[in-house]
Amino acid sequence: NKIAFSYEKLGEYDKALEYNKLLFELRKIIHNDNKHTDLSLSLDELGSNYKNLENYEKAIEVRYSYKILTFIR
């Protein structure tokens, strides 16, 4: 997460997205795809990455998944 954050601060949004996607997949493995706060955090971060890349449709899709996951918990 700190690597992705660093890339984001450098304006390298593609790399930040890449690392956040990897982190999300790792968190899914660690938590057995269960509804865990780490997964909702990853979705929130991914939504921010897509927004920074001006991919607003994908940002909304990911943020919507985040809202659903936080509501279900």
Query: Is this model's pTM higher than 0.75 or not?
Result: yes
| Cα Rg of the chain, angstroms | 12
Residue 28 pLDDT level (bands cut at 50, 70, 90): confident
Q: What is the 3-state secondary structure (H, E, C) of 9-58?
A: HCCCHHHHHHHHHHHHHHHHHHCCCCCCHHHHHHHHHHHHHHHHCCCHHH
Q: Is the pLDDT of residue 71 over 90?
A: no
Side-chain-side CA neighbours of residue 33 (13 Å): 0
